[in-house]
């Protein structure tokens, strides 16, 4: 059967560019008739016949996936094929969707040829027009065109499309994403004039030494008897196709300055509109250069995803993605792991992004056969693979934004890649090739890895990495590999809370020229909202036997495209302008092509978080790669208390992706401060009934040693807390590299508190306890020391690990090398739900993800402090908090001061509730607000697919002391 053979398609036209043409067109998007059958043999036999009735069929929206419109259900696997591996055979249960669309040809529709074009159908289809078969096609994320002219009729026409979810092509489409069948991209019918244009190939280079442009536009006219002209009015050009011309001065295209020139190719019967960007891509001296300069990718891997529509993304959504990327300083996209909707690439040209366009090819699931039968190494599959590369390159070749072609993802090694590389080099010698998984890099112009630990990255940067086994026997190939530039095509797995360590990676990228940057995995969480649901689903939510759980919920955006804290962090880490200081203030232009003249630099001075002065800096023109010293602003006021100077680089005027005033970068510096205030005289302890004692504003229970009342509020006293609801990164990858199992082995998830002594002194209360899990010898001796001064109550906590922390063999291997957190937890009445604080904010921050946190005064409700991770886990900590005030609507509440700072977390549920929840809807507010006041938390890392937190961010068990002071709310 056609869906199981190794023929990429039948009856299709030769692949060609996606063109904006003047030829008449009708969109066949919209409502179609639809019928789903369990398999091909159950499907009706006469679907194509115009006389067959379809009035009992349902309606389906095209473009769309039937599994997101109430038929069958979506499936998510990471690497596993959700059917037996028996290439090229498909399972008997091969959901088959018949689609019928009646349409009317307009009266003035030109007679003659017409092209029926499908931009994307997943995964294999057959098409009939008015009962006549036009052909078949595979390759889900690629266009297919059929000659429709001979079968079109005036007036009413019937288009029938049979789509099979599984096909031989599915073996090449094992990307880590939902399996989503259907006609998910546009369908059009376009008239194809005999004196029109078939294809266009723009070659537009830029000579950075002379500033000259070079242009040649190749054109294939439908009939060689007719010629065409290439017009670029802005440059006064009127060229013959294939004619090469040098233009003395053009403005080049770059992701920073995406200058495009409008052009047209005019044949007698058809005009095609083009946008030309002049740029020259080269590999020189082991580096990728554009227009003579090495570039640094500050990239993301982008899947097409919409929480309701899956991969049927709208143009507005594509634009929204790119606007968000530009607003967050991202300059590059890897179209992981297939060519995107063609309109997306137009937007990349327009808004300015470097693009690695990736072939729709991944055979990852063959890891489960130990790569036996991997199509990539079986010549019988070469036509199926080459077809995909050709259709991508032909479709996308005219986009200046595309600087690299990727042969595919995660398909191991295989000789067929040689065919893809050879064909592409011949067809488009002007762009380098990329393929990561073949460690010989024979068919790649880049050395590349994924999720590489930092030490390894340092070795690669300095070209001292070990020789891979694949090139060990071949010195020539090894020498070639070693001379290649390096791109980290995936890193910083943004699953759940994280990634940690972005700043550390960026530092290393910037240190070594060979490292040309990286692409964070990944842009958006693939959570889906099914009709009527309020929680996003992921793998396993349908009771599937094989699934990838929430491994596809690993983006910098939440499924609804709200930026996550990880994106805010990335924006700060990759800012194209760096401000350092304060004395001297230095502004560094980290861009490769543009000056900073599009920015305005403002400053603000704050004392204790309150603005006291503000102004604008005068900054000279700073060339790319250069920096300038700027004098400290004149109008600084000074004053008692903590003083901060914040410098912001904002857009001076509107850009297509953000309005004037949008903040691009910032720097913050502490200025010299005056000495702090001496505390009041201390208070005495006073008996308060039978088993209670009062100390300043606090009342304690003498048996438990816990604080039960604070400034008139009923509280459940602070106790040591070492636990957090594990993050995806704490959980590691499928039980691999997971710090959580160490924590559990040490019993940190089940600590019990034993009070050993409650010592009432004249001016202090000391509570001694041992905090330890059942069944183990280890524990933590904890001493709480309470003193009061005026209306304030101070708690200082000493912790001392006790017995058994060293694993077998004593000091050789600790049972547990880190603690999730170190601090105290207490409960307040639920009405206390408003928080003001002075410290780091506005968003959450952790030891290795804290660049975006800046010192200031902030306020939020307890609900607003939560970060809505699709799978609930530790979140919402605010760092460097000097003081926080928690209050109810009436102004009752408590103030907490750090010594000097603490980390603040407040939520309506406990860490244990958070840990149990699998979806956000599982979180139910309790009648308390739980407050964590921490000295520290363990770093985040990105071990869900990558390294753990770096050693400097590990919260190692050890003796520690910290303190906080509770007091009344400040007036006003
Ligand atoms: C790598 C894949 O290329 C990507 O598609 C995604 O699955 C990512 O991992 C994890 O989310 S595969 C690599 C970890 C072997």
pLDDT band, residue 812 (cuts 50/70/90)? very low
Determine whether the shortest distance from the Cβ of 519 to ligand 1 is under 6 A.
no
Closest Cα to atom 10 of ligand 1: 945
Closest CA to 1 of 44, 40, 45, 38: 40
Q: Backbone phi, then psi, for 365, in 5-degree steps?
A: -65, -15
Q: What is the DSSP letter of 849?
A: B
SS3 329: coil
Note the pLDDT tens digit of each residue in 170-203.
999 999 999 999 999 999 999 999 999 999 999 9
Which CATH homologous superfamily contains domain 576-671? Answer: Immunoglobulins (2.60.40.10)
CATH number of 283-572: 3.20.20.80
CB of 358 within 6 A of ligand 1: the answer is: no
Ligand 1 atom at shortest distance from the alpha carbon of 78: 7
Distance between Cα 176 and ligand 1 center (Å): 7
Query: Looking up tokens 């306020």, which residue turns up?
Result: 859
Q: Which residue has the tokens 């079968």?
A: 151
Averaged pLDDT, 59-82: 97
Of all residues in the chain, the percent with pLDDT exceeding 70 is 98
- Amino acid 357: pLDDT: 99
Q: Is the CB of 490 inside a 6 Å radius of any atom of ligand 1?
A: yes
pLDDT attached to residue 648: 98
* Closest C-alpha residue for ligand 1 atom 13: 450
pLDDT classification of 677: cutoffs 50, 70, 90: low
pLDDT of residue 786 exceeding 70, the answer is yes
Which H/E stretch holds residue 614?
Answer: strand 610-616
Ligand 1 pocket residue status of 410, Cβ below 6 Å: yes
Determine the pLDDT at residue 971. Answer: 76
Is residue 198 in contact with ligand 1, taking CB distance under 6 Å? no
- Nearest in space to 429 (alpha carbons), one of 294, 289, 280: 280
Q: How far is the CA of 852 from the centre of ligand 1 (A)?
A: 27
pLDDT digits (tens, 9 = 90+) for 498-520: 999 999 999 999 999 999 999 99
CB distance 551 to ligand 1 below 6 Å: yes
DSSP state of 691: T
| Distance separating alpha carbons of residues 737 and 740, to the nearest angstrom | 9
| Residue 744: partners with Cβ closer than 8 Å, 6 or more residues away | none
Tens digit of each residue's pLDDT (9 = 90 or more) over 356-366:
999 999 999 99
Domain boundaries, the chain: 24-191, 283-572, 576-671, 686-969
pLDDT at 811 over 60: no
Task: Please state the rounded mean pLDDT for residues 296-312.
Answer: 98
410 is catalytic: yes
Where are the extended beta strands (E) located within 119-173? 121-122, 124-129, 132-138, 144-147, 155-164
pLDDT single digits (tens) 889-946? 999 999 999 999 999 999 999 999 999 999 999 999 999 999 999 999 999 999 999 9
Confidence check: pLDDT of 673 > 80? no
Cα Rg, the chain, nearest whole Å: 32
Q: What is the pLDDT of residue 808?
A: 54
Domains 24-191 and 283-572 share a fold: no
Residue nearest atom 12 of ligand 1, based on CA coordinates: 410
Q: Which candidate in 358, 394, 410, 764 is catalytic?
A: 410
Whether 679 shows a pLDDT value over 60: the answer reads: no
Query: 367 C-alpha vs ligand 1 centroid, how far in Å?
Result: 13
Would strands 121-122 and 182-183 be described as parallel, antiparallel, or unpaired? antiparallel
Mean pLDDT of 107-131: 97
pLDDT tens-digit profile of 197-234? 999 999 999 999 999 999 999 999 999 999 999 999 99
**Residue from 469, 424, 466, 461 nearest 444 by CA:** 424
Which pLDDT band holds residue 760 (cuts at 50, 70, 90)?
very high
Helix axes 342-351, 382-396, angle to 10 degrees: 40
The answer to whether residue 809 scores a pLDDT higher than 70 is no
Question: CA-CA distances (angstroms) from residue 516 to 103, 282, 332, 446?
Answer: 50, 14, 11, 10
List 145, 304, 490, 522, catalytic entry? 490
Tokens (6 digits) for 935: 């000295």
- Tell the CATH topology of 686-969: Beta-galactosidase; Chain A, domain 5 (2.70.98)
pLDDT of the residue at 914: 98
Contact 361 CB / ligand 1 (< 6 Å): no
Question: To test ligand 1's pocket by mutation, which of 80, 176, 337 has the most ligand atoms within 8 angstroms of CB?
Answer: 176
Rounded distance from Cα 396 to ligand 1 centre (Å)? 25
490 is catalytic: yes
Residue 554 Cβ inside 6 Å of ligand 1? The answer reads yes
Query: Helix 502-511 to helix 565-573 angle, to the nearest 10 degrees?
Result: 20
Tokens 């028996």 locate to 86
| Mean pLDDT of the 45-65 span | 95
The architecture (CATH level 2) of 24-191 comes to Sandwich (2.60)
pLDDT at 706 over 90: yes
CA of 435 to the centre of ligand 1 (A): 14
Closest to 747 measured CA to CA, from 798, 811, 812, 820: 820
Residue nearest to atom 9 of ligand 1 (CA): 945
Q: What number does the ligand 1 atom closest to the CA of 451 have?
A: 14
Residue 518 Cα, ligand 1 centroid: separation in angstroms?
14
CA dist., res. 384 & res. 17, Å (int): 20
724-755 pLDDT, tens digit per residue, is: 999 999 999 987 889 999 999 899 999 999 99
Minimum-distance ligand 1 atom for the alpha carbon of 551: 11
- Asked if 247 and 215 touch (Cβ cutoff 8 Å), the reply is yes
- Return the best residue to mutate from 356, 945, 946, 947 for the ligand 1 pocket (most ligand atoms within 8 A of CB): 945
Query: CB of 176 closer than 6 A to ligand 1?
Result: yes
- DSSP letter string over 43-95? S-TTTT-TTS--TTSEEEEESS-GGGTTSS--EEESSS-SS---TT---S---
Which ligand 1 atom lies nearest to the CA of residue 409?
3
Q: What is the pLDDT of residue 735?
A: 76
Ligand 1 close to Cβ of residue 450 (< 6 A):
yes
DSSP string, 377-392: G-GGGHHHHHHHHHHH
Closest atom of ligand 1 relative to the 552 alpha carbon: 11
Q: Report whether residue 409 contacts ligand 1, using a CB cutoff of 6 Å.
A: yes
| Peptide bond just before 315 cis, omega within 30 deg | no
pLDDT at residue 676 is higher than 60: no
Instruction: Output the CA 132–ligand 1 centroid distance in Å.
Output: 42
Ligand 1 and 436: CB distance under 6 A: no
Residues of the chain with pLDDT > 90: what percent?
94
> CB of 728 closer than 6 A to ligand 1?
no
Quick one: pLDDT at residue 675? 57
Nearest CA, atom 5, ligand 1: 176
- Ligand 1 atom nearest to 336, measured from its CA: 5
Q: What is the pTM of this model?
A: 0.97
Q: How far is the CA of 404 from the centre of ligand 1 (A)?
A: 20
Q: What is the whole-number distance in angstroms between the Cα of residue 144 and the centre of ligand 1?
A: 28
């Amino acid at each position: 059967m056609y869906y199981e053979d190794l023929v990429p398609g039948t009856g299709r036209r030769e692949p060609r560019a996606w063109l904006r043409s003047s030829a008449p067109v009708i969109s066949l998007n919209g409502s179609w008739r639809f019928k789903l059958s369990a398999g091909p043999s159950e499907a009706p036999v006469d679907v194509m016949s115009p006389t067959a009735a379809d009035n009992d069929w349902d309606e389906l929206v095209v473009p769309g996936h039937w599994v997101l419109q109430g038929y069958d259900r979506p499936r998510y696997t990471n690497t596993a094929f959700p059917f037996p591996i028996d290439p090229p055979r498909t399972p008997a249960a091969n959901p088959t969707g018949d689609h019928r669309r009646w349409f009317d040809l307009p009266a003035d529709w030109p007679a003659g040829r017409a092209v029926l074009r499908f931009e994307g159908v997943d995964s294999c289809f057959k098409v009939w027009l008015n009962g006549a078969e036009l052909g078949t096609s595979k390759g889900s994320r690629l266009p297919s065109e059929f000659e429709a002219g001979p079968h079109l009729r005036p007036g009413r026409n019937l288009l029938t499309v049979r789509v099979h979810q599984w096909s031989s092509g599915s073996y090449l489409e094992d990307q880590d994403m939902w399996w989503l069948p259907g006609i998910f991209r546009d369908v059009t019918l376009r008239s194809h004039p005999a004196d029109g244009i078939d294809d266009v190939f723009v070659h537009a280079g830029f000579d950075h030494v002379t500033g000259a442009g070079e242009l040649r536009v190749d054109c294939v006219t439908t009939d060689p008897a007719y010629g065409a002209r290439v017009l670029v009015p802005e440059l006064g050009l009127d060229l013959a196709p294939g004619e090469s011309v040098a233009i003395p001065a053009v403005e080049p295209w770059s992701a920073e300055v995406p200058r495009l020139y409008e052009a047209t190719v005019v044949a007698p019967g058809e005009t095609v509109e083009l946008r030309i960007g002049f740029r020259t891509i080269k590999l020189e001296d082991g580096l990728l250069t554009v227009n003579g300069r090495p570039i640094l990718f500050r990239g993301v891997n982008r899947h097409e995803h919409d929480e309701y529509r899956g991969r049927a993304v709208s143009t507005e959504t594509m634009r929204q993605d790119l606007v968000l990327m530009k607003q967050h300083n991202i300059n590059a996209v890897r179209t992981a792991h297939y060519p995107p909707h063609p309109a997306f690439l137009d937007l990349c040209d327009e808004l300015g992004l470097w693009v690695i366009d990736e072939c729709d090819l991944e055979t990852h699931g063959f890891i489960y056969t130990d790569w036996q039968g991997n199509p990539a190494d079986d010549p019988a599959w070469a036509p199926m693979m080459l077809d995909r590369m050709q259709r991508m390159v032909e479709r996308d070749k005219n986009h200046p934004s595309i600087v690299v072609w990727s042969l595919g993802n995660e398909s191991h090694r295989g000789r067929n890649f040689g065919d893809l590389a050879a064909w592409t080099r011949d067809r488009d010698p002007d762009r380098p090739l990329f393929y990561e998984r073949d460690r010989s890099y024979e068919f790649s112009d880049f050395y590349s890895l994924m999720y590489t630990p930092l030490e390894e990255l340092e070795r690669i940067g300095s070209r001292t990495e070990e020789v891979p086994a694949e090139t060990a026997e071949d010195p020539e190939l090894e020498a070639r590999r070693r001379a290649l530039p390096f791109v980290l095509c995936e890193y910083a797995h943004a699953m759940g809370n994280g990634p940690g360590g972005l700043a550390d990676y960026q530092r290393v990228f910037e240190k070594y020229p060979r490292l040309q940057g990286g692409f964070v995995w990944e842009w958006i969480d693939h959570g889906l909202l099914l009709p009527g649901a309020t929680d996003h689903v992921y793998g396993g939510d349908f009771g599937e036997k094989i699934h990838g759980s929430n491994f596809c919920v690993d983006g910098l955006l939440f499924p609804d495209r709200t930026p996550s804290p990880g994106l805010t962090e990335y924006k700060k880490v990759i800012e194209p302008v760096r401000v350092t200081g304060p004395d001297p203030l230095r502004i560094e232009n980290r861009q490769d092509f543009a000056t900073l003249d599009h920015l305005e630099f403002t400053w603000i001075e704050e004392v204790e978080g309150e603005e006291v002065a503000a102004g604008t800096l005068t900054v000279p023109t700073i060339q790319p790669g250069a920096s300038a010293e700027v004098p400290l602003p004149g109008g600084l006021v000074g004053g008692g208390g903590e003083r901060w100077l914040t410098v912001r680089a904002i857009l001076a005027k509107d850009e297509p992706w953000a309005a004037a005033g949008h903040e691009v970068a910032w720097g913050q510096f502490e200025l010299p401060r005056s000495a702090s205030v001496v505390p009041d005289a201390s208070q005495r302890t006073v008996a308060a009934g039978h088993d209670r004692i009062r100390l300043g504003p606090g009342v304690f229970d003498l048996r438990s040693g816990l604080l039960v009342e604070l400034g008139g509020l009923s509280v459940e006293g602070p106790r040591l807390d070492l636990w957090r609801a594990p993050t995806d990164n704490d959980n590691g990858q499928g039980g691999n590299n997971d710090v959580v199992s160490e924590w559990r082995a040490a019993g940190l998830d089940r600590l019990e508190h034993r009070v050993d002594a409650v010592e009432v002194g004249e001016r202090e209360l000391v509570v001694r306890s041992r905090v330890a899990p059942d069944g183990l010898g280890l524990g933590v001796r904890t001493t709480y020391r309470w003193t009061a001064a005026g209306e304030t109550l101070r708690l200082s906590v000493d912790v001392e690990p006790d017995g058994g922390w060293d694993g077998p063999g004593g000091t050789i291997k600790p049972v547990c090398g880190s603690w999730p957190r170190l601090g105290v937890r207490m409960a307040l009445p639920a009405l206390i739900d408003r928080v003001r604080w002075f410290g780091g904010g506005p968003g959450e921050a952790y030891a290795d993800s804290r660049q975006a946190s800046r010192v200031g005064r902030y306020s939020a409700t307890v609900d607003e402090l939560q970060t809505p991770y699709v799978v609930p886990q530790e979140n919402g900590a605010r760092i460097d908090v000097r003081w926080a005030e928690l209050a109810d609507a009436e102004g009752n509440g408590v103030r907490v001061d750090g010594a000097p700072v603490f980390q603040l977390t407040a939520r309506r549920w406990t860490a244990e509730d958070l840990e149990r929840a699998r979806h956000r809807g599982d979180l139910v507010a309790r009648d308390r607000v739980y407050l964590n006041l921490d000295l520290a938390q363990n770093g985040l890392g990105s071990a869900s697919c990558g390294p753990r937190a770096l050693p400097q961010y590990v919260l190692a068990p050890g003796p520690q002391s910290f303190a906080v002071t509770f007091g009344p709310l400040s007036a006003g």
